[in-house]
Amino acid sequence: MAEYCNSEIGREPYLPNLEELCIAQCPPYPQWFRGVVCEGAAGGALRVCYVDYGNVGDARLPQLRKMVPDFVRARPALATHVELRGFPENPSEEMLAKALVHMKVNDEGRGELKVTRCEKIEPGLYIVDAPDLLRAMGV
C-alpha cells in the first residue's frame, strides 16, 4: 500500500464517503492502513476506524487515499461504528474486565462479540443488542 500511496497515480488525497473503505495513515505513524471514515472530527479532521487493528483515530484529508481492490481481495474488510444498546454509561472496572473475558479479547486487543437487532441510526452509526455481553457483565 505504501508503494501505491506514494506513487504518481496514488498520491492524490481522496475524501471517502462514510463507511467507505479507504487507505489512511494513523498519525503519528508514517505507515498506510486500511480504514473506514466514521465521522467528521474537530478542526477538519475525520474519525477513521483502522479496520485491521480496531483502533479509531483522527486523520486529515492529505492522509487518505482511495482504496484499490487488490488490497482487499485476499483479505476482505468490513467495519462499522456500533453502539451497544443498554451498555452502562459508567461501567466499573470489574464490569469491563468481565466484558473482556466474555469477548475473549487477546493480547492484540482482538476478540469476538455476538450482536443482534442491528438498526441504522444515521450514516456510519448503528445501534445493536448484545444481551450475552450485558449478562456476563452483570447488567
Question: Contact, 82 vs 115, CB < 8 A?
Answer: yes
CB atoms inside a 10 Å sphere around CB 107: 5
Query: With a threshold of 0.85, does the pTM exceed it?
Result: no
Contacts of 44 (CB under 8 A, 6+ apart): 60, 61
Position 37 scores a pLDDT of 87
d(CA 26, CA 64): 10
Give the cell for residue 71. 488490497
d(CA 39, CA 124): 7
CATH numbers and ranges of domains, the chain: 2-73 (2.30.30.140), 81-137 (no CATH)
Position 49 scores a pLDDT of 86
First-to-final CA distance of the chain: 43
Position 110 scores a pLDDT of 76
Residue 84's nearest CA partner among 104, 108, 59, 103 is: 103
Residue ranges of the chain with pLDDT lower than 50?
A: none
Give the cell for residue 94. 470489574
Looking at residue 83, the DSSP 8-state letter turns out to be E
Position 106 scores a pLDDT of 84
d(CA 92, CA 138): 11
Position 27 scores a pLDDT of 83
